[in-house]
Amino acid sequence: MDSSASKVVLKMSLTEARSVIWPFRELKGQTIGSLLDKGLLSLQDLGFAAQRAYTERLREASRTILLHQLMQEPLASEQEYWPLNVVSTELRSFAERRQLQLAMLEGLIMGGIFTLLMSGMLWSISMRKNSADNGEALARIYSNPISTIVFVIFMIVLIGTIISTPYLIGKALDHLVLRRIEKQMRLHRKGQLGEERALNVMFGVLDGRWWLFRNMELPGRRLGDLDSVLVGPYGVWSIEVKAYSGEYRNVGEQWEKRFGTKWHSIRKSPTRQARRNAAELSQLLATNQIKQWVTPLIVWANPESTVVLDNPSTSVWTLDQISDGLKDLSSKPPIPEAQVEKIVEVLKKICQDHDDSSST
């Protein structure tokens, strides 16, 4: 091969590169090869590691795998089908909206602290002007030694209070509010990253016979958007992506979170939410003269959170189970191609109508 890629001298074999441990937080502790096989690492992840990783070993492993991936990438014209079709509305995902809301709240709080500081400075300037006007009263205070001592102590306490109050308020807000906001923002960022990783796996497994609709808002719905809707030759799935933090378990329809040594029921059940979304989507298709069962599915998108499953009434896939789960879909009874086309057209129109209404 005469390409420039073939002339690059690699310092590491592909087998050795695949055995290197991925150190970054969300997927740390697993080999690069196992993460690639599960579809959890993208070319973008490897490119980042090739440039930014702290260790030369990881940078070299990422470069080696990137080169092999690019050299072996088949041309689109040689593929039997085009890649997975993805349709996204202009509506931000729930994780993105929550991050924006939390950032605005954090800005309002910091703005309030700044306003307090400015008010304190203006009040201090005003006090100085008043003290100049009341020079005679100060002279009387200074003429008495005891009054002078009391006045000096009072001014020290006053100045200390003026200086320390904004700092103490800031520390209290940071401990009680800002840290919680940052924690929530990190959690939603993980949820957004989980959605992107799930999409990356789907790209690696599904072909152009499949359609993925993201962040869909059904007409007349007041309970938020549908994270993803998957439509293909073997059915329709309404996918609910969750990135909860902590340890959970799902027994049948019941969901619980572990606090210490005890399990407590959570108020919002992902199972009920996924089933409600699937039912509403099925009803919408029925109004368009399309009779189609919609299967609810939950994707557990935070790899740092654990979920224990005991005969769940709705399927729950962790990130490393998505690839095998998608491959198993081909065992489902197929639906007519014309049915798939009708469903796709209805969902595309909903997305288009939403974007048109948002732009007006």
Q: What is the pLDDT of residues 97-141, one digit of tens each?
A: 555 665 666 566 666 656 665 665 566 556 555 554 555 555 555
Task: Kindly report the number of other CB atoms within 10 A of residue 137's CB atom.
Answer: 10
Q: Alpha-carbon distance 272 to 240, whole Å?
A: 11
Task: Specify the pairing of strand 30-31 against strand 21-22.
Answer: antiparallel
Q: Alpha-carbon distance 298 to 248, whole Å?
A: 14
**Higher pLDDT, residue 152 or 171:** 152
Judge contact between 66 and 47, C-beta under 8 A: yes
Task: Kindly report the number of other CB atoms within 10 A of residue 43's CB atom.
Answer: 14
What one-character-per-residue DSSP string does 221-280 give? --S--EEEEEEETTEEEEEEEE---SEEEEETTEEEEEETTEEEE-SS-HHHHHHHHHHH
Judge contact between 20 and 66, C-beta under 8 A: no
User: Which tens digit of pLDDT belongs to each residue from 301-323?
Assistant: 887 788 999 999 999 998 888 88
Q: Is 143 helix (H, G, I), strand (E, B) or coil?
A: coil
Q: Is the pLDDT of residue 81 over 90?
A: no
List of residues 6+ apart from 37 with CB closer than 8 A = 323
Per-residue confidence at 355, pLDDT binned at 50, 70, 90? low
Any idea what DSSP says for residue 3?
A: S
Look up the pTM and report it: 0.64
Judge contact between 95 and 192, C-beta under 8 A: yes
Angle, alpha carbons 324-327-328 (nearest 5°): 90
Q: Is 153 helix (H, G, I), strand (E, B) or coil?
A: helix
| 341 sits in which H/E element | helix 337-359
Which of 270, 282, 272 has its CA nearest to residue 236?
282
Q: Is 299 helix (H, G, I), strand (E, B) or coil?
A: strand
Per-residue confidence at 26, pLDDT binned at 50, 70, 90? low
Q: Which two tokens stand for residue 147?
A: 């009054």
